[in-house]
Structure 1
Amino acid sequence: MVYLTRLEHFNAAHKLYNPAWSKEKNESVFGVCANENWHGHNFDLFVTIKGEVDEDTGFLMDVKKLSKLIREKVIAKVDHKNLNLDVDFLQGKICSTENLAMGIWHQLAPHLPENVQLHCIKLYETARIYVEYFG
């Protein structure tokens, strides 16, 4: 089994807010992240796939194709967007980094070649905060 990771980067704004709660409760739970004027992050996205190396190419997957898949299915939807308002796969969800990582998984997993599996989505919100999701 070989593991291959591709790093991509995107910028996006969001706020943490539960619409079922009062403004006061949201501010109590989420603090400044519930700011009505949003806030942004420079996200680093690590997509790790796994599988067996193809004997004919020596690749698990052509990294150019993996990069194109990530850019088309994820980056185009989230880069320089408001995650709460603009991203279809986050509609109806609290826009936490955890939910974003799970959403990214579901955007990518069905589009990988048969011999390749998604192993991990690692999403850095800041240099000190990241989420790992293994499906």
Structure 2
Amino acid sequence: MSNIRITKQFSFETGHALYGYDGKCKNVHGHSYRLDVTVIGQPIADTSNVKYGMVIDFGDLKKIVKEEIVDVFDHATVFNKNTPHVELANELKNRGHNVILADYQPTSEMMVIDFAQKIKKRLPETIQLHSLKLQETATSYAEWFASDND
């Protein structure tokens, strides 16, 4: 049986600030992110299985990514918890804002690494995460490939 890649696209709005950065992104701002999640596996060959012919049900993949990424990051503001931004984060939290204090600088590069780790933990054993593409703007994105990280 052939290995097939399946991709599902997601979108969410997230704010962030890059502490210590020497450009405009040191300020709190937001992006309309688009995340492409590609998994690889073999279509189910068991004709009695309700998922016969699928690598993974798109709905099952959607549930994983929605719970791990979209529902968490959508309309949240992400700060590196190891910076003075933690004071601003706590003030926003106290005012009812959705704030994430990450263990990393919230760049697209670091976010896509975080997302890969979270998604991989939830996939069935027969399915492998192949790649992620996190698009921050119309012209800028970060990609993660399993083949680069084995």
TM-score (structure 2 length as normaliser): 0.77
Deviations 1:51-94 (A, max 9, x none): 11111310000110100111011111100000115335xx2311
RMSD across aligned C-alpha pairs, in angstroms?
1.2
CA positional deviation for 1:17: 1.2
2:132 to 121, 126, 132: 121
1:100 to 82, 90, 111: 111
Where do residues 59-98 of structure 1 align in structure 2 (5 Å cutoff)? 59-84=54-79, 85=89, 86-87=99-100, 91-98=102-109
CA positional deviation for 1:7: 0.2
Equivalent AA in structure 1 for residue 54 of structure 2: F
Q: Distance in 2 between matches of 1:83 and 1:54?
A: 39
Percentage identity across aligned positions? 31
After TM superposition, what 4+ stretches of structure 1 lie above 2 angstroms from structure 2? 85-88
1:39 to 17, 24, 29: 29
Equivalent AA in structure 2 for residue 133 of structure 1: W
CA positional deviation for 1:116: 0.1
The total of aligned residue pairs comes to: 121
Where do residues 2-17 of structure 1 align in structure 2 (5 Å cutoff)? 2-17=4-19
SS of residue in 2 equivalent to 1:87: strand
CA positional deviation for 1:41: 0.2
Greater relative contact order, per chain length (Cα 8 Å cut-off, separation 6+): 1
TM-score (structure 1 length as normaliser): 0.85
Q: Distance in 2 between matches of 1:8 and 1:61?
A: 16
Q: Distance in 1 between matches of 2:26 and 2:125?
A: 41
Q: Distance in 2 between matches of 1:83 and 1:103?
A: 13
Equivalent AA in structure 1 for residue 144 of structure 2: Y
Q: Distance in 1 between matches of 2:127 and 2:100?
A: 26
